[in-house]
Amino acid sequence: MPPKLIIQLGRFIWTTLWRIMMSKLAPRDASGAYIRPESQFRDRIGSQTYPAASGRYKLFVGMSCPWAHRTLVTRALKGLENTIEKSIVSPSPENGGWILDQPEFGCTTLAELYRLAKPEYKERSTVPVLWDCETNTIVNNESSEIIVMLNREFNEFAAHPELDLYPDLLRDEIDRWNLKTYNSVNNGVYRCGFAQTQAAYESACNELFSMLDTIDKTLENNRYLCGDTLTLADIRLFTTLFRFDAAYYGIFKCSRRRIQDYENLGAYVRDIYQLPGVADTCDLQAVKRDYYGNLFPLNPGGIIPIDSDSQNLLAPHNRDKIYA
């Protein structure tokens, strides 16, 4: 068979299989743009059903996942490590989902844990999961809601109850930033990486870098997004930016510019990384291993780039000299 036919056959087979795998990994609309499914468990701590308590709840998290990472950063900053236990899950491309590092509640996979909570459940099984150990069920699997609960509902058990990451006076501003950064940055990197047409990719990429330029400009005079006060808006942004140069820049084709090349964004990431307890929640090796090693449709060879430690996360940031 001539090489031309081999190439044509190989391209046809791979493209067909790629589309099948991507339909499960990343649902798309008619234009080829990625559509993120909504979280399905939306109960709240503080209700009569789920009162705040120490030792009753735990977080199931994947160390490479930015959405789960938000909950770990908030938990660390509030000093809730002794109140809310964490359990680690790791992605398995062979099994097509998350695997519990240690079996719990008779479950070895996250999908089994979801079915334990809701036997008829057939949707995606994602992290983070806020789990109630008393009733063996999922309270919530929406990261943006879990971090609000961690900030507010467990203060009587927290080592740092005085820290309010969602203060009343800043809530409107925090919510505005969250709305802007979610679609353009947090989900924007996935819209780039999971785009299935050139037009969808370029649209997402342009929106992503336009917002990064806007944020970088804001940080010229503000230490954090809302001035000199660290908020949940910063935590939500940080966990995406922390992964950007190591993963999204390469495998998700967010390659116009690295975060460390921005005048202010790189220092902003270092500032938050160096806050007490935050570095312990960050696992850059897990990020690279899981994104490059496990997203088979995007990186069939599974080759993981060599780590050059180029992010220099412990370098001085000098952000404490900036005031709104």
Residues of the chain with pLDDT under 50: 324
Is the C-alpha dihedral spanning 114, 193, 196, 31 positive or negative?
Answer: positive
Q: Which residue do the tokens 């005079």 mark?
A: 221
Q: What is the pLDDT of residue 20?
A: 58
Sort 271 into a burial class: Cβ within 10 Å, 0-12 / 13-18 / 19+.
buried
Per-residue pLDDT of 107-147, as tens digits, reads 999 999 999 999 999 888 999 999 999 999 999 999 999 99
Report percent pLDDT > 90 for the chain: 77
List active site positions: 65, 190
Domains of the chain from N-terminus onward: 26-163 (3.40.30.10), 168-281 (1.20.1050.10)
DSSP character string of 30-75: TTS-B-PPPPS-B--TTSSSS---SSSEEEEE-TT-HHHHHHHHHH
Q: Give pLDDT, residue 18.
A: 58
Secondary structure (3-state) at 229: coil
Pairing relation of β-strands 97-104 and 107-109?
Answer: antiparallel
Predicted confidence at residue 94, as pLDDT, reads 76
